């Protein structure tokens, strides 16, 4: 079966521009606050059967140059979809659209997909239109319970999860043994200079907040100071070879890195070719995140966008996407449909985790924009970005 993993085998994750390269263009400008009352949007869906969907690369089912589920949506709905893969980094995309959204101007996109912390930032700035859950019965019925009401968007008034993922530790068992905890990952002598951590601040600092006794979902400046100092100590010790985006995968496969802070979807891709790659939940738990569909202010096709969101919450459609992208599926009922597509993925806890699997997960706290910028600056100074 052709899937995302086959494409990644051929080109390598790092070559796709998916690295979270700490593009700082978005930092230093808080953005201009808007509100629904001040920035009114007109919906032309009744007269224009089209929409523009911006997503990350390799994040939908593909067959050559075709996008089968999207083509089926177009046939069923009569809505023409322009699908762009022009989101490679949250900060980079924020920089691309902030001037227009801050000035209540269109960004020529009806759906954008942002990771939790950036989605929270954009919603907090008043840049996203409110959604109508009554117009999305599949979303209402089939969204997994754990994603229904995040603190940064209660009752999902502005966002619908596209895919979710876990952040943990991957290791190459050909070169090293199992790693029990994040603290062990940071201190074990045989790992010194042979590990990588993620350059996404929230992913990495959530673990350091955990190991210094703080709650990543509810911490203060004092907690942050202790965690960033612990990161500095680990970096200064020479334990970490490098900070990466997805580009840890090649070195980990080859043994140039023996372990890495890693994202679950990448690990599934790697395991098809290399059974020595293992993914573990450290004693501190696993990071849990989602990438979320949203409708920006001044997007002209809100109703059409909600029809597409609802379509992707049909379990059969969601299973087709999950079989390709290999991330956590946010749709209840998709696992049963997966049995008809790829039985090897049924029961895979990195795609269909149980409530017990998710019991020890945590997210990174939603931060005020100015605080986020200051923390980003400190983090990037420590990791040398």
The two three-digit tokens of residue 189, written as one number: 């002598």
Asked whether residue 23 carries a pLDDT value surpassing 70, the answer given is: no
Residue 30: what pLDDT?
Answer: 52
d(CA 373, CA 381): 12
d(CA 190, CA 171): 13
Asked whether residue 385 carries a pLDDT value surpassing 90, the answer given is: no
With contact defined as beta carbons under 8 Å apart, do 261 and 336 qualify?
no
> Beta strands of 194-347 (E only): which ranges?
195-198, 240-244, 259-263, 277-280, 286-294
| Residue found by looking up tokens 């494409």 in the block | 7
> Which domains are present in the chain?
50-164+289-352 (3.40.190.10), 165-288+365-383 (3.40.190.10)
Residues in CB range of 81: below 8 A, 6 or more apart:
50, 51, 52, 53, 70, 73, 74, 308
Range in 121-125, 141-145, 358-362, 374-378 with the lowest mean pLDDT: 358-362
Confidence at 31, pLDDT banded by 50, 70, 90: low
Residue 60: what pLDDT?
Answer: 95
> What would the pLDDT profile of 246-270 be if each residue is shown by its tens digit?
789 999 999 999 999 999 988 988 9
Range in 44-48, 145-149, 185-189, 317-321 with the lowest mean pLDDT: 145-149
With contact defined as beta carbons under 8 Å apart, do 113 and 162 qualify?
yes
Asked whether residue 137 carries a pLDDT value surpassing 80, the answer given is: yes
Residue 26: what pLDDT?
Answer: 38
Residue 103: what pLDDT?
Answer: 96
Which has more pLDDT, 29 or 218?
218
Rounded average pLDDT over 300-317: 98
The two three-digit tokens of residue 146, written as one number: 């754990």
């Amino acid at each position: 079966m052709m899937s995302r993993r086959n494409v990644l085998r051929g080109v390598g994750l790092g070559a796709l521009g998916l690295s979270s390269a700490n593009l700082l263009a978005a930092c230093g400008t808080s953005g201009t606050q808007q509100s629904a009352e001040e920035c009114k949007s007109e919906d032309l869906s009744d007269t224009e059967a089209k929409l523009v969907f911006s997503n990350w690369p390799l994040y939908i089912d593909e067959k050559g140059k075709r996008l089968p589920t999207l083509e089926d949506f177009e046939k069923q709905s009569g809505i023409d979809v322009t699908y762009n893969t022009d989101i490679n980094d949250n900060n980079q995309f924020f920089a691309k659209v902030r001037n227009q959204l801050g000035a209540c101007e269109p960004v020529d996109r009806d759906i954008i997909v942002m990771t939790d912390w950036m989605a929270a930032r954009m919603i907090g700035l008043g840049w996203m239109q409110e959604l109508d859950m009554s117009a999305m019965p599949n979303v209402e019925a089939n969204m997994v319970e754990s994603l229904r009401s995040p603190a940064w968007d209660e009752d999902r008034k502005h966002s619908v999860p596209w895919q979710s993922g876990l952040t943990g530790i991957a290791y190459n068992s050909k070169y090293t043994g199992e790693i029990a905890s994040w603290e062990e990952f940071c201190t074990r002598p045989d790992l010194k200079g042979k590990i990588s951590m993620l350059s996404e601040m929230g992913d990495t600092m959530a673990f350091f907040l955990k190991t210094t006794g703080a709650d990543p979902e509810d911490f203060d400046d004092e907690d942050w100071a202790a965690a960033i100092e612990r990161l500095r100590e680990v970096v200064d010790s020479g334990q970490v070879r490098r900070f990466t985006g997805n580009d840890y995968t090649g070195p980990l496969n080859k043994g140039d890195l023996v372990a890495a802070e890693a994202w679950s979807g990448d690990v599934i891709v790697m395991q098809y070719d290399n059974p020595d790659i293992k993914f573990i939940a450290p004693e501190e738990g696993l990071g849990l995140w989602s990438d979320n569909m949203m409708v920006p202010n001044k997007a002209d096709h809100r109703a059409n966008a909600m029809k597409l969101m609802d379509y992707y919450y049909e379990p059969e459609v969601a299973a087709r996407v999950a079989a390709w992208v290999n991330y956590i599926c946010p749709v209840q009922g998709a696992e049963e449909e997966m049995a008809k597509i790829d039985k090897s993925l049924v029961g895979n806890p990195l795609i269909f985790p149980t409530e017990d699997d998710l019991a020890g997960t945590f997210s990174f706290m939603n931060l005020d924009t100015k605080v986020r910028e200051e923390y980003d600056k400190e983090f990037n100074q420590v990791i040398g970005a």
